[in-house]
Amino acid sequence: GGDADVVHVDDLGMAHVAGFFVTSATGLMILIFFSSDLLMVLTVLYCLASAMTLSPYLSSLIVRGFPYLQKRVLFPLCDPAPLSSIIALPCSLFLSGLWFATRHHTLSFVLHDVLSASIAVTIISKVRLGTLKVASVLLAVTATYDFIWVYASPIIMEQSLRAAAQGSDGGAFLRPAEPQNAIERTLSPLPTDVIPLVLLFPRNTHGQPSPIEHPNGFLGLPSVVVPGMIAGVALSADAAKGRNAGWGYFPVAVAGCAVGLALSVVANRDTVQPTLGLFAPTMLLPMLVIARVRGEFHEMWNAPWHQHGGPG
């Protein structure tokens, strides 16, 4: 799509930051205290969202192989739609449903990552940050929330479970009951479930017991989406200044993103760690240093690059 499909965020003030914290903290508390009920709801919503975001990419692949499927057809009460999109949507729904039914299987992470990547790429392509200042504030806020999520939520959750257990059987610490059959394993979350908005990767424990219960390591989608948005700012700045790929900010941002992601994967192989903060020294700092050396710091920090010829 063009600029009409892109959400431009020109400035992020303290009101936005406060709103993010209030909304995120409220959601975190609700998820902690009602996790067994809400995890299934979140998983179903994830399936629907990933099917919708995956569908356009499948449609593009279908058109590459069968160009004649670009032909549009008209259904009652609907706008004309390409045949490729009509075919892609049920395929996407099938893939998300297949992941839901097999999500406890060891190899389900492959399909999970395809679905999660479609969500991440869609967000990065549709939501564009206007300035590096906005990107920096967003990274700081999400990194703080990441830290709180990793270190504070387990403490609060354990205390709430202990309190509930004390009220039920005199103080024994209860854990969720294991599913009893295949149907229950499919339709109810297991203790090894994770929030679905993540990218999974297999861990090699060399036959040793893992410090965490889930068989895969994982990265939250913000660890991909936020660096992707920062790289988008760099790409827009390079396009506005007419710099080629070798001398712009974008290659620095991509290299920093790769280093940050590699460090994040290593950090999360054996235990869950907050990793969004890693992208400050690997991405933001090199870009700001280069901007200072070039005498472009204030321009890079404050200019709304998407209004100066950045990619649409």
The stretch 163-180 carries a mean pLDDT of: 42
Supply the pLDDT for residue 220. 82
The residues near 37 (Cβ < 8 Å, ≥ 6 apart) are none
| C-alpha distance from residue 117 to each of 105, 110, 140, 160 (Å) | 19, 11, 23, 33
Phi-psi region of 283 (alpha: psi -120 to 50; beta: other; left: phi over 0): alpha
| Tokens found for residue 164 | 């509930």
Over residues 275-299, the mean pLDDT reads 90
Q: What is the pLDDT of residues 149-169, one digit of tens each?
A: 777 655 555 544 444 444 444
Q: Please report the pLDDT score of residue 141 as a whole number.
A: 84
Burial classification of residue 201, based on how many CB atoms lie within 10 Å of its CB (0-12 exposed, 13-18 middle, 19 or more buried)? middle
Number of H helices, E strands in the chain: 12, 6
Q: 115 vs 11, 86, 110, 179, 273, CA distance in Å? A: 30, 19, 9, 26, 23
How is residue 236 written in tokens? 């827009």
Confidence band for 207, pLDDT divided at 50, 70 and 90: very low
Q: Which amino acid is at 257?
A: C
Task: Determine what percent of the chain is predicted with pLDDT higher than 90.
Answer: 26
Q: Which residues of 180-199 are buried (b: 16+ CB within 10 A; e: fewer)?
A: eeeeeeeeebeeebbbbbbb
The 8-class DSSP code of residue 197 comes to S
DSSP assignment string, 152-175: THHHHHHHHHHHHHHHHHSS----
Say what the pLDDT of residue 312 is. Answer: 40
pTM (predicted TM-score):
0.75
Q: Dump pLDDT digits (tens) for 253-281.
A: 999 999 998 888 887 776 677 888 899 99
- Mean of pLDDT values over 278-289: 92
Tell whether the model's pLDDT for residue 36 goes beyond 50.
yes
Q: What is the mean pLDDT of the chain?
A: 75
**Confidence bin at 3 (pLDDT 50/70/90):** low
What pLDDT score does 98 carry? 95
Residue environment code for 251-289, b if the CB has 16+ CB neighbours within 10 A, otherwise e: bbbbebbebbbebbbebbbeebbbbbbbbbebbbebbbe
In a 3-state reduction of DSSP, which class is residue 226? helix
Nearest of 38, 31, 195, 29 to residue 119 by alpha carbon? 195
